Amino acid sequence: MIVRITRALIFLQIIMVAGLCIVLHHYFLVASMPLAWILSFSALALVRFMLIANTFFIAYRYRGPLPTEQRLSWKTGGRLLFQEFWASMLVTSWQMPFCSFSGTVAPQAAGLPVLLIHGYGCNSGYWHSMRRHLIRSNISHKGIDLEPLLGGIDDYAASLNKAVEELCRESGKTQLIILAHSMGGLAARVYLHQYGSRRIAKIISVGTPHHGTMLAKFGIGINSQQMRWHGDADRGQPSDWLRNLASAEDTASRALITSIYSLHDNIVAPQQSCHLPGANNIGLPRIGHVALGLHPTVQALALAEIRLAARLGQL
């Protein structure tokens, strides 16, 4: 579904740019058509840039405490904003509409297979960049598209279980590793609660709002409601759904999870929501929410966790 939606949105944006180009050329006396096209595309890019900037503004209002050395200057903050803008443009305009995938079982694969789970409003195309690293590393992997798009996170457990069993069967392995972005990390925790850890060697969550996020109140759907953080950074609390999920988990399940997150996330606020007690937590500075899955440091950390989990599974 996301493929169709994102392609339709791209088509709509092209129509809007073409319309603006005609208006500029005929009514605002922009004689050069190439210049009119450039101005029209620039206007579209500016609107999308402002939407991304607004997420940073909201996230800043509900930010958690940061050490002095991690506070951003205007220069580093501007660089962070532009990196997130570029990542968002790439993911929504190319990877999601045109790069979704089912998976690859590598011949003579190294280590354990990896199940890739996307976040809210995305699809498997989000992991297009990471997939190239898995292919180069000869690691079998499978991507899944979570449906229904606006359903409850609990609704994804059955399809995750099906994907887990299929990947284990196709790869000939009894266990696999889950790599999940944002909401996908919560879906992985629900799967672990409902189906157990028999098939799971490791869960790597990237930018997952384990305790919720204030920005979820701007989303739609049951899943968005479940991910909400209520109140400010100091005195707020997770949604009832998140608290119930946490109360159902034990020490062993938390020990399977590595949470990689950004101290300057523009979608998860307060940012310490990504810190999951009992898990291996890795906080990184100066990376936006969408950019996490494309960032070389995050990809290197994820690959290191994948290889470590595979080695431990062979002991």
Residue 144's domain is classified under what CATH number? 3.40.50.1820
CA 166 to chain centre: 23
**CB under 8 A, 24+ apart: contacts of 74-80:** 76/286, 79/286, 80/56, 80/264, 80/286, 80/287, 80/288
Co-location of 109 and 89 in the same domain: no
**308 and 225 in a common domain:** yes
Residue 104 clears pLDDT 70, i.e. is over it = yes
Residue where a domain stops, chosen among 61, 77, 98: 98
Whether residues 94 and 107 share a domain: the answer is no
**For residues 190-215, average pLDDT:** 97
Terminal-to-terminal C-alpha distance of the chain: 41
Q: Please tell me whether residues 86 and 232 are part of one structural domain.
A: no
Task: Output the 3-class SS for 78-115.
Answer: HHHHHHHHHHHHHHHHHHHHHCCCCEECCCCCCCCCEE
| Buried-state track 186-195, b at ≥16 Cβ within 10 A, e below 16 | bbbbbbbbeb
- pTM beyond 0.85: the answer is yes
| Domain span at 88 | 2-98
Give yes or no: residues 53 and 117 share one domain. no
- How many distinct structural domains can be found in the chain? 2
Whole-angstrom Cα distance, residue 139 to residue 171?
A: 10
Instruction: Please indicate, yes or no, whether residues 71 and 180 belong to a single structural domain of this protein.
Output: no
Tell me the pLDDT band of 315, cut-offs 50, 70 and 90: very low
67 closest CA partner among 298, 216, 244, 264:
264
- Co-location of 39 and 70 in the same domain: yes
Q: In this predicted structure, what is the pLDDT of residue 313?
A: 64
- Whether residues 91 and 118 share a domain: the answer is no
Structural tokens at position 209? 């709002």
Span 169-199, pLDDT tens digits: 999 999 999 999 999 999 999 999 999 999 9
Cα separation, 16 vs 5, whole angstroms: 16
Say whether both 140 and 284 belong to one domain.
Answer: yes
Q: Which of 41, 69, 98 is the last residue of a domain?
A: 98
